Amino acid sequence: MSHFLLQDPRFFQLLLRVDQELALQTRVGGCACGGVLHRGNYPRKPRGCLADVRSDFESRFSFCCSICRKRTTSMSVRFLGRRVYLAMAVVLVSARHAGQTPAANRAASLLDVPVRTLVRWRCWWQEQFPLTVLWRGACARFVPPVVALAMPTSLLARFSGPSAHSLMRMLVFLTPLTGCVITLDKGC
């Protein structure tokens, strides 16, 4: 998997379009209480993003119910939970770092990712990700089994095709880890 995707504005625009579609699906689905969802995006300061498209990545799509005030954050292929680096950066740099290759060093230095962060990401992929409901429900679908100690590289390798397609398929696979519902006591 080449790090050229980290420098491809078209791929960033594709990620934005997918997130816009996921946000539309969330909004159309409405709240469980029957209320209308109003936009209440979260500001973000994304790392691992091209300067040309940074403004498109400075908010996380989220909604607030007009009745019960619950916040619903749509799933995302751009963001992986609360991490400040974009999901694609977490996947690509972690995959490269797992191999400790010169390409990993170039990708990490391109994004200015500290070694401590790389170690933390690797720990998450190898220790915490295998415990998620998503992985426990999906791991049996991969035959032969994905090697947990080689994640995310071993998982990314299962999504075949050109680099952009396999990365997008993995990011879509990870989307259930990115959405959440938060109850607010006060307004949005």
The tens digit of pLDDT for each residue in 128-145 reads 999 999 999 999 999 889
For residue 130, the enclosing domain spans 87-174
Do 50 and 102 lie in a common domain?
Answer: no
144 in a structural domain: yes
Residue 100 CA from chain centroid, whole number = 22
Quick: pLDDT tens for 16-33. Answer: 999 999 999 999 999 999
Question: Taking Cα atoms as reference points, which of 123, 126, 121 lies closest to residue 94?
Answer: 121
Residue 156 lies in a domain: yes
Classify residue 42: in a domain, yes or no: yes
Residues 111 and 152 in one domain: yes
Q: Quote the distance between the C-alpha of residue 68 and its chain's center.
A: 28
Q: How many CB atoms lie within 10 A of CB 38?
A: 11
What is the rounded average pLDDT for all residues in the chain? 84
pLDDT of residue 106: 65
Identity of the amino acid at 28? V
Given the DSSP bridges, would you call strands 180-182 and 71-73 parallel, antiparallel or unpaired? antiparallel
Say yes or no: 170 and 91 in one domain: yes
d(CA 23, CA 26): 5
Provide the token pair at 185. Answer: 């006591």
Tell me: do 74 and 119 sit in the same domain: no
In the predicted structure, residue 59 carries a pLDDT above the cut 90: yes
Sign of CA dihedral 9, 14, 15, 17: positive
Residues 123 and 75 reside in one and the same domain: no
Residue 188 lies in a domain: no
Same domain, 7 and 72: yes
Mean pLDDT of 50-74: 91
Sheet with 180-182: list strands edge to edge.
37-39, 62-65, 71-73, 180-182
Owner of token pair 């300061």? 45
pLDDT on residue 68: 93
Overall domain count for the chain:
2
Average pLDDT over residues 52-80: 92
Structural tokens at position 74: 């749509």
The answer to whether 76 and 173 have CB atoms below 8 angstroms apart is no
Residue 187 falls within a domain, yes or no? no
Q: Does residue 150 sit in the same domain as residue 93?
A: yes
Do 97 and 159 fall into the same domain?
Answer: yes
Report which secondary-structure segment, H or E, holds 38: strand 37-39
Q: Do 100 and 41 share a domain, yes or no?
A: no
Under 8 Å between Cβ of 87 and 76: yes
Q: Report CA Rg, the chain.
A: 17
Same domain, residue pair 140 and 169: yes
Q: Examine the pLDDT at 9 and tell me if it is beyond 90.
A: no
Q: Are residues 54 and 109 in the same domain?
A: no
| 109 and 72 within one domain | no
pLDDT of residue 181: 40
